[in-house]
Amino acid sequence: MSTQTITKQGYLSDLIQQIRQVPMVKPWLKEARDRASILIEELALPTKKDEEWQFTDLANLYATNFVLATNKVVTIQDIAHLILPEAANSHLVFINGFFASELSSRQALPEGVFVGNLSQLPDPYLIENYLGKQQDSNEVFNAINTAGISDVAIVWVNKNIVVEAPVHLLFITIPDEFPTVTQPRALVVVEAGAKLNLVEQYVATGEGCPDAPAAHPYFTNSVTEIFVGENAVVDHTRVQRETSAAFHIARSGISQATYSQYHCHTISLGAKISRHNLDIFQTGESTETTLNGLTMISGEQLADKHSNICLNYPNGVTQQVHKTIVDDRASVVFNGRVFVGKKAQQTSAGQISRNLVLSPKARVNTKPQLEIIADNVKCSHGATVSQLDGDEIFYLQSRGLDQAAATSLLVEAFALDIVNKLPVPSLRQVLSRCMACKTMVF
């Protein structure tokens, strides 16, 4: 199938027609899928005329005629290098959106923890009140994902259970000879007093690294919903390293109950165009939210990160640090919104966007955003855009390093502030090597 220019309305109609033909693992999904299909009819695809998308041009996405990806045969040897050693016995693998039971392992999980897909769910109605029920999910790509739900990666942790080993959700795309679309879906419920370390990873095989060209583009449209119960703790690491021909659009919706802690670490390295919406909703007082992000792109990549923290209860604490490294003709967009409602008294919120530009043609559009209605809060935000310091490079050269080595050392130091906060040691080591040689190869 060849790429062709089509209208946005035609794009939606064609895609929805394909999605409606996707078989359902569970009959009760029909109601959620039908609601989403109706919602899509009321929504428009975003363009640069929309404020939230003014720096992200999706014309190439709309000009590509995608078909739904099919399942592929993959061996454990093909993906062994992608499995985190710490999660060797606690990981789920999805190939082109299809659950690969033979490649997954859940041997290290304690009693009271379910990690699996819809067909393995002991009670089919257990997740009915959670799936598709996150706040503010009326966004067109989110609705497209919901309209085509066929399976879900599910992590459920019962009350007061501490999961020692990381749980690794690995979503793998195998590019085909024509443009394809996959729609990964994940649901995570951590009940009161429980603790979970979650790693969510998006990759493609057969390419060698995210910068290697793929024969044809592909589109990953993912949605992850996380519910953090009262006094629960979730460490969430999300790594995106698609190929340079990929489109990656994702939404992570998080709900935080009273006294809960949510710590998120996002690493974005790949894709031709990527967009990640991270929405956090406080449903009780005294929550703690930490967001650490790192984007490292080059070539003609575009990476867009929008975060939204909505605080409507008192004594919330949030801290966000987002760093970008942009080279060549690449472009980065960051919009971090923190909303502090009238009832969110004694809130403490800090946000900083730091951007390192390595090329005169690289571009950064950054917008830290505070909206405060409460009158007894401590909030701050800021943004910096800078190049490497010539004096620092000269100093390192005077100590025997050439210019390339000096540049790599400074880039690595800039990135490691985020990488070293990752809660999974093997992932820290791999990413540290990437930063040291200014590459995305794993």
Q: Give tens-digit pLDDT for 193-238.
A: 999 999 999 999 864 444 444 457 899 999 999 999 999 999 999 9
- Average pLDDT score over residue span 90-117: 95
What are 19-60's pLDDT values in tens digits?
777 776 677 788 888 888 888 888 888 999 999 999 999 999
Count CA atoms closer than 13 A to 25's CA, side-chain side.
Answer: 15
Residue 1 pLDDT grade (very low, low, confident, very high; cuts 50, 70, 90): very low
Distance, in Å, from the CA atom of 317 to the CA atom of 287, rounded to the nearest integer, reads: 6
> Quick check: pTM over 0.85?
yes
**Burial class for 226, CB neighbours closer than 10 Å (0-12, 13-18, 19+):** buried
Residue 191 — pLDDT band, cuts 50, 70, 90? Answer: very high
Q: Is 389 exposed, middle or buried (0-12, 13-18, 19+ CB in 10 A)?
A: exposed
List C-alpha distances in Å: 310 to 3, 257, 341.
Answer: 40, 13, 8
Tens of pLDDT, residues 234-265:
999 999 999 989 999 999 999 999 999 999 99
Q: Within 13 Å and on the Cβ side, how many CA atoms surround 203?
A: 22
